[in-house]
Amino acid sequence: MGTVERRRWRGASALTLLCATALLAVSAMTGVAQAAPMPEPGAKSLERVRQEIDELYRQAGTATDAYNLAESEAKAQSAKIVEIAKQVVAGQDRITALKNRAGAAARAQYRSGGMPAGAQLALSNSPSQFLDGADRIRQGEKATTVLLSEMNRTQSDLQQYAKDASAQWDKLEANRIKQEASKKQIEEKIKSAESLESKLEAEEKARLIQLEQEAQYKAQTAWLSTGVLKEINSSASESGKKALQYATAQMGKPYVWGAEGPDSFDCSGLTSQAWRAAGKGIPRTSQEQLRLLPKVAIKDMRPGDLIIYFDDASHVGMYVGDGAMIHAPRPGRNVTLAGAGSMPIKAVVRPDA
């Protein structure tokens, strides 16, 4: 498939997605009108339920970001502790070797009656032997000084390693506490959202999905009505194409908070693994992706770029072109295509800038 054909295919896919969403919204509104000519008293409360559920899942997403960041930092700290342990072992081996050298010198001096061979020669009546002995004394003094200096430096290094290890353990414990707190918050938010949904009748649940789709369609339509697509016309980089290929291959897999694949993903787990598959390591969380990756203007957005959503940067998707993006939405949903403007855009970042 050539570049033009691929672009047309993406455009057709995005338009099909948007049209399908529009039809769902229209059919939903038509169904309500046929079932009850007068406005339903419960319709407004169901919309409030939808908003509350969305907010709970968004808060869970924020907590998931905090959990993932703490986990990522804990992994780095664990690796640092392992590296420090290796340095300690090497330092201890160095101390042992230096002590053996010092012991060998002491034993040699003992065998010579307590006087170094160089000193014995320095006391000789022969001028040549005297000069040779004096030189050996200087060399011995230098070697001893170097030996003592190395031992002191190595001992100092070992003390610093101990301090570093202690600091890393403290950070590791602090991150463990953060993880536990974030995990508790995630589970509470998801449980509250699921509890709200569980109280709905089957028809209300179906209507809830339609309300969700209508809200996304409304936001996407408003975004497109600005004419933004007229400005967005950049092509994907080679790395971006690889990242997109990975991401689209995950469509249909479930959202699971904290997951990085291969069977399930959370939002930043999908984007970070997609770019890892493209040969580019990027931060694990949407907030760190926003903080550390180069930002680009929306008009300069190209397929493969990451779209960061909401003021707290709690969600991320990957732009696929023609006004669409791919993302792992939330618990209870699967990796899917959606309108790039279906949620409030905070920023666009480029992993391979």
Query: What positions carry a catalytic annotation?
Result: 267, 315, 327
Cross-strand bridge partners of residue 325: 319, 338
Residue count of the chain, please give it. 353
The separation between CA 290 and the C-alpha centre of its own chain, rounded to angstroms, equals 11
Q: How far apart are the C-alpha atoms of 309 and 307, rounded to whole Å? A: 6
Residue 318: DSSP 8-state: E
Please tell me the distance from the alpha carbon of residue 75 to that of residue 70, in angstroms, as a whole number. Answer: 9
CA 66 to chain centre: 10
Angle at 27 between CA 26 and CA 29, to 5 degrees: 65
Secondary structure class of 324 (helix, strand, coil)? strand
Count CA within 13 A, CB hemisphere, residue 350. 18
- Of 17, 30, 68, the C-alpha closest to 287 is 68
Instruction: Report the C-alpha gap between 338 and 216 in whole angstroms.
Output: 8
What are the phi and psi torsion angles at 319 (to 5°)? -70, 135
Whose tokens are 């339920």? That residue is 49
- Which amino acid, residue 212? E
Tokens read off for 333: 């949903």
- Do the Cβ atoms of 247 and 327 come closer than 8 Å? no
> Which 8-state DSSP code applies to residue 237?
P
Burial 95-126 (b: 16+ CB within 10 A, else e): beebeeeeeeeeeeeeeeeeebebbebbeeee
Q: CA 347, 65, 301: angle at the middle one, nearest 5? A: 20
Is the four-CA dihedral 55, 320, 223, 228 of positive or negative sign? positive
Q: What is the DSSP letter of 115?
A: S
